Amino acid sequence: MKKLKSKRQIFHSEADFQFALAWEIQREYPEVEARLEYAYKIGDKLYHIDILVIHENQYIPIELKYKTLKKSVIFESEEFHLKNHGAQDLGKYDLLKDVVRVEKVLQDHNKFVDGHIIMLTNDPSYWKKDSKENTCCADFSIAADRVVTGSMKWAEHTGAGTMKNREQPIALMGTYNLKWYDFSKFDDKRNGQFRYLLIDVARKTLFFNTPKTE
CB 90 within 8 A of CB 159: no
Q: Tell me what pLDDT residue 85 has.
A: 92
- Of 212, 198, 189, the residue nearest 71 (C-alpha): 189
**Per-residue model confidence as pLDDT tens for the chain (214 residues):** 999 999 999 999 999 999 999 999 999 999 999 999 999 999 888 989 999 999 998 999 999 999 999 999 999 999 999 999 988 999 999 999 999 999 999 998 889 999 999 999 999 999 998 877 778 888 999 999 999 999 999 888 888 888 888 989 999 999 999 999 999 999 999 899 999 999 999 887 665 444 444 4
DSSP one-letter string for 168-197: SPEEEEEEEE-EEEEEEES-SSTTSEEEEE
CB 50 within 8 A of CB 36: yes
Q: Tell me what pLDDT residue 201 has.
A: 95
**Burial zone of 106 (CB within 10 Å; 0-12 exposed, 13-18 middle, 19+ buried):** buried
Instruction: Name the residue ranges covered by the structural domains of the chain.
Output: 2-203
Q: Tell me what pLDDT residue 117 has.
A: 98
Q: How far apart are CA 153 and CA 137, in angstroms?
A: 8
CB 47 within 8 A of CB 105: yes
- Angle in degrees, CA 97, 101, 104, rounded to 5: 135
Q: Tell me what pLDDT residue 213 has.
A: 42
Q: How far apart are CA 36 and CA 195, in angstroms?
A: 23
